[in-house]
Structure 1
Amino acid sequence: MNKPQPRIPQEHTDEIFALAAEIQAKHEQSYSLAELKKIGAEAHISPEFVEQATKQIQRKKQRESRLEVILESLNNAMAVMILLSFFTGFMGLPNGHCSLAKTQPENSHSQTLPDS
C-alpha cells in the first residue's frame, strides 16, 4: 500500500517557489571544479593552480563562517550578561536582598543616647 504524501498548505506555495527559484539561480551561478579547470585552461592557467586557489578560497570561507558563529555566540552571551546584570541590579543584590532595605547598620539596635 502506498503511504500518503504529506500535504503542503496553499499559502506556503508562493514562498516555496520563490525560494526554489533563488536556489536554482544560485546553482546556475556556481561551477564545478572541472568546469573551473576548463575555464582556467582557456585562460592558460594550469589546473593544479585552479585547484589550489579553490581549496584556499574554501578554507578562507570556512574560517570566516566559523568566526561569524563565534562572534554571534559572543554577542548572545554579552546580551545575556547585560540582562542578568540589569535584573540583579533591579531586583537587588545577588542574594535577593534589596540594597535599600537596610538603612541602619546591623549593630545599631535602637540605642538611646545618654541624657546630658
Structure 2
Amino acid sequence: MSQSPITTHILDTSRGRPAAGVHVTLEHLNDAGEGTLLGRGVTDADGRLRDLLPGGVRPSVGTYRLTFATAAYFAELGVEAFYPSVSVVFQLRAPEEHHHVPLLLNPFGYSTYRGS
C-alpha cells in the first residue's frame, strides 16, 4: 500500500508514547469554511495514520482540516481531558509534496507542526 500524500502522527506527551486508536478525519474546506470529507482512519500502534486518502487520490491546492477525536482516546485511558477534539486547519500550496501533520497531545494542551 502506498502512503497517502497527507499523513499524521500523534504522540501523547503526558505518557511519552504514541497515541494509538485515535479516530481522525480529513476534510477539504471551501471558501465558506465548510468541509467535504476526504478520508478517515484510526491511528495505529505507533500513533500513525498513513492512509488518510484513498490510493491514487491527490490533494489539490487549498485549505484542509484534520480532526482528532481526543475525548474517546482519553476516556479509554480513564483520563480527564479538556479538549474533546482537536482540529488542525492548514493550507496546502504544493500538492505534489508530502504533507505530514503531527500532533503532540496531552490532556490539557496540544501543539502541531509541519513535519516531513
- When normalised by structure 1's length, the TM-score is 0.16
Q: Name the structure where helix makes up a greater proportion of residues.
A: 1
Q: Whose radius of gyration is greater, 1 or 2?
A: 1
Higher relative contact order (CA 8 A, sep 6+): 2
